[in-house]
Structure 1
């Protein structure tokens, strides 16, 4: 999910290139949470930005009990498809995804990118049917949370309810920002805003905000930003020539965050 980033401070960032955490070994979804100790929210390094944020230890235990284990999704595989019945939300434990919406004319559009700590599947809440395909950009692991159990637990645990509402609100803000990005910004501003958004999200997760790997293709970025693949490549090359960033394949180093923010 993407929001409009604020200014960043590159001096505080690590220099190592970002790589997704090693996906944990999957556990069968049918196993009870008590036996599935490795999948517990308390052991997840994304806990501070996911469903368990702000929960006390006892409340985290209750959330663990409604979680239905892990699911591994290999690169290129679909977590769910448009038209599938909505039954669960999925918290990304490791890896990354893109969501793809297909128009009535058959044209595909990237509607979002998700990384560890994000929740996928909220598109299905309204009509109880998913409206997009969720495709793994790399080998990924998600925690499966049956929605009817989560909904019931939210009625018992107000902190969990507040956190879930925050996540729903973040989706609304992301979509509003996406509309502004597509409607009011030039191609260069769209690319710059996109890179700064990824930077801010990496910082939030404790990774380097200036050195990371873009898991999506340039074509995916273009689809998300409403520009062509050639425009994305040309803009990245221009930013590199201006000393704003260094790019090699999918590896990216942001060299001047303030200048990108001023585009």
Structure 2
């Protein structure tokens, strides 16, 4: 997966708006009219839904170079609420403007469709994969996925800080907080990780890959 900002080079002449957000600040709520997609310039974001009981279901995490807000394309309303996990900056990509530019320029249109297709496929692929895995394999896959995404953006794939809480990780993976904490401890005891609160060091990448196959 490439960097969405870099992949939008056909739109380079357009001066898109940038927005800075504080940790916890919301960009849009579920049910809001869809008008833009967002590219992460710096920081980390999550999308989530809240059910009738007030329970939050995390739907995705997004880092520098990735797009979010695509869930609003089909229904013309955002299906999730998006918020910043730390002080961050986004690039606002008004969808109507991008479609208009795409109609006038086939290269822009092809690039836009390719990026949207890739991002949507990535999200669905991860969720389908996680749904068929054991708890241990889910957490291992989550960490390997994060590691790969950090590497592709020029960051260390083996030494990083988790911007989300363990409760948010559990919500995303469909696991209880206690299970997530137990598995982090297990991975430490097995020599796969060194964990200091949110600071994670992957000590045995091959071992973490093998943990993805645990039934």
Query: Residue in 1 aligned with 2:123?
Result: 174
Higher relative contact order (CA 8 A, sep 6+): 1
How big is the shift at 1:166? 3.0
- Is 1:53 paired with 2:7? yes
Post-superposition, which runs of at least 4 consecutive aligned residues in structure 1 deviate over 4 A?
Answer: none
**Aligned residues of 1:244 and 1:256 also touching (Cα < 8 A):** yes
Q: Tell me: CA distance 1:106–1:209, structure 2 relative to 1, closer, same or farther (3 Å).
A: same
Secondary structure at the counterpart of residue 154 of structure 1: helix
Distance (Å, rounded) in 2 between the aligned partners of 1:54 and 1:75: 26
Secondary structure at the counterpart of residue 96 of structure 2: helix
Structure richer in strand, relative to its length: 2
Distance (Å, rounded) in 2 between the aligned partners of 1:54 and 1:116: 14
Distance (Å, rounded) in 2 between the aligned partners of 1:94 and 1:130: 22
How big is the shift at 1:152? 1.3
- Is 1:164 paired with 2:118? no
How big is the shift at 1:105? 4.8
Summarize the alignment of residues 76-95 of structure 1 with structure 2, pairs less than 5 Å apart. Answer: 76-95=24-43
Distance (Å, rounded) in 1 between the aligned partners of 2:27 and 2:103: 28
Secondary structure at the counterpart of residue 262 of structure 1: helix
Gaps of 5+ in 2: none
Gaps of 5+ in 1: 4-47
How big is the shift at 1:91? 1.0
How big is the shift at 1:52? 4.0
Q: Tell me: CA distance 1:157–1:246, structure 2 relative to 1, closer, same or farther (3 Å).
A: farther
Secondary structure at the counterpart of residue 75 of structure 2: coil
How big is the shift at 1:233? 0.8
Secondary structure at the counterpart of residue 100 of structure 1: strand
**Aligned residues of 2:7 and 2:115 also touching (Cα < 8 A):** no
Distance (Å, rounded) in 1 between the aligned partners of 2:64 and 2:89: 9
Secondary structure at the counterpart of residue 153 of structure 1: helix
Distance (Å, rounded) in 2 between the aligned partners of 1:155 and 1:125: 17
Secondary structure at the counterpart of residue 47 of structure 2: strand
RMSD (Å) for aligned C-alpha atoms: 1.8
Distance (Å, rounded) in 2 between the aligned partners of 1:194 and 1:166: 25
Distance (Å, rounded) in 1 between the aligned partners of 2:125 and 2:11: 31
How big is the shift at 1:117? 0.6
Query: Residue in 1 aligned with 2:69?
Result: 121
How big is the shift at 1:144? 1.1
Could you report, residue by residue, the CA deviation over 1:30-65 in whole angstroms, capped at 9, with x for unpaired residues?
A: xxxxxxxxxxxxxxxxxx61144273xxx4443x23
How big is the shift at 1:103? 3.0
Distance (Å, rounded) in 2 between the aligned partners of 1:159 and 1:247: 46
**Aligned residues of 1:51 and 1:160 also touching (Cα < 8 A):** no
How big is the shift at 1:157? 3.6
**Paired residue total:** 210
Q: Give the TM-score normalised by structure 2.
A: 0.91
Q: Tell me whether 95-104 or 112-121 shows the greater mean CA deviation.
A: 95-104
Secondary structure at the counterpart of residue 208 of structure 1: coil
- Is 1:228 paired with 2:182? no
How big is the shift at 1:249? 0.8
Query: Residue in 1 aligned with 2:165?
Result: 217
